[in-house]
Chain A
């Protein structure tokens, strides 16, 4: 459909149309992430919070905290809260706002739409992480200059990558809750509950139950994800990340997508 005068060409048989490429869908889904006020503010909060954290550390922090590694670690934390909510809005918003009716009428292959959403969220997740690392580097230089210190470039690549993985997992969990629940408010509650309430309850239970203290990390994903942000991680802890991820992300996601495929869009 590149012609400017479609009336002069005979209409194409539907079979001759080219299918909508995934890249175009990803482009559309990326656009949807920033064209509403809610998700635009959530995304705008990423650099703002990084900046605030950097200023706070620079002004009030001890000299030992004014390092690239510390800045990056501090600033990545808010992402684990913000980006999962962006994921929830991206998926559940289609149902709560009922725009799914148009989305899936324009693209009846629901799996492709969901794949495009996942790719768009992954790109935004990585871009946000990259911008945090970049801003942290700038903050390190500025803060060191202001205090008359030498900038400390102590960023551990593996730790940073693991932190990014932890927060990508949180985003994936947000995506999963939205796919399963298909409604913004319940999905947000489930997502925030996972990020805040579950770790608290889990640690209380671990305090009274020896069995949970020893084995809980196999089940509690928020617990095993916290291993990823520690300086050292054991093989067993990686395995616990794996079982938690299977139980709370992979399995519900597969079931949720299967359901989403058949559900009536109204």
Chain B
């Protein structure tokens, strides 16, 4: 269980995390979604005691992370797979974590097997690892202490499609066993595929939160016909809300059956009819991303927090 309550972090004039409140529950994968610079990584650093909040609290399993006596046994953390000492071997990196937590050494080999790093690979220096291998090593470190909570920052970065699939299955079974997973990403599709709950943030604030099904269902139905304007008018006169897109697609709050009937009654041949899965979420997300684009003069004061204090 992760609880974030009114969490705020300011760097001078910049508010990287702004009165953020959300919960990640056990048994569920919570996706933490936001464009680059939205404050995801800062939030995760505040949560894991690597940064100090200006205001508000963040607790894991009911305690502040910094108050956990041996956090590795309760919380698996992977904030940046590239932040590992390049001069150590993969195995040595794990052994250091294993010794810090006070675990038997056999656990190291078990984790190497779990994340699919071979013995030969584990004896190579991390400097020579690909980003995907570093992600696997980072996951191994996070899972080493058999924790009940996982906090992962962009864990799919650098993984190949098979690796992404593997990561998904791993997180799914971790959550199905009652674990709490909080993972961040700036890719909507990635989060959609794995998360039970989604928290979307922009400029350090929550802009949408709820179960994935809720957020995606809220999008309604997409109907496409040659004459979008006529279709839109027919739906509106039938008492539904309808928004015509540029490409002949109309998004409406009518169900698929009702939307089809309306179009049929109006004599409009329907070329596409389906749930508008995630369209609304995607629109919202794209709006957020657009807001963050650097080439907009009005956004000069909203750079990414990382690096602001480097």
Contacts and interface: CB of A to CB of B under 8 A. Distances in A.
Interface of A: 1-2, 4, 6, 11-15, 17-20, 24-25, 27-28, 31-32, 35-38, 93, 97-102, 104-109, 262, 264-266
A20 B50 contact: no
Nearest to B62: A14
A192 B252 CA distance: 71
B245 to A, nearest CB: 41
Given A20-B100, A28-B99, A266-B306, A108 B49 contact: yes
B57 to A, nearest CB: 15
Given A14-B74, A98-B80, 8 more contacts: A24-B100, A25-B100, A27-B99, A97-B86, A99-B83, A100-B83, A108-B66, A108-B71
Contacts of A262: 52
B84 A265 contact: no
7 contacts: A17-B68, A28-B100, A32-B96, A35-B88, A97-B83, A102-B93, A106-B101
B77 interface: yes
Contact of B84 (A13, A31, A98): A98
A4 B99 CA distance: 16
Contacts of A98: 80, 82-84
Interface in B94-109: 95-97, 99-104
A102 B141 contact: yes
Contacts of A32: 96
Contact of A265 (B45, B62, B70, B103): B45
Interface in B72-89: 72-74, 77, 79-80, 82-88
Contacts of B65: 108
Interface string B143-161: 0011010000000000000
A264 B51 contact: yes
B92 to A, nearest CB: 5
Nearest to A16: B69
A234 B106 CA distance: 57
A264 B69 contact: no
A262 B68 CA distance: 18
Contacts of A108: 48-50, 65-66, 68, 71
Most buried by B among A17, A98, A99, A102: A102
Most buried by B among A31, A100, A106: A106
B100 A101 contact: no
Interface residues of B, number: 46
B87 to A, nearest CB: 4
Interface string B233-261: 00000000000000000000000000000
A36 B100 contact: no
9 tightest A-B contacts by CB?
Answer: A98-B83, A36-B87, A108-B49, A108-B66, A19-B69, A265-B50, A264-B51, A101-B83, A99-B85
B229 interface: no
Contacts of B74: 14, 17
Nearest to B74: A14
B47 to A, nearest CB: 10
A15 B70 contact: no
Nearest to B92: A35
A166 B99 CA distance: 33
Contacts of B70: 17-20
A12 B79 CA distance: 25
A25 B141 CA distance: 17
B309 interface: yes
Given A14-B69, A18-B69, A98-B84, A106 B100 contact: yes
B49 A97 contact: no
A104 B97 CA distance: 11
Nearest to A101: B83
B79 A105 contact: yes
Nearest to B178: A11
Given A17-B69, A98-B84, A31 B50 contact: no
Contacts of B72: 105-106
Contacts of B101: 1, 20, 106
A20 B83 contact: no
Contacts of B77: 102, 105
Contact of B61 (A14, A37, A99): A14
Contacts of B66: 108-109
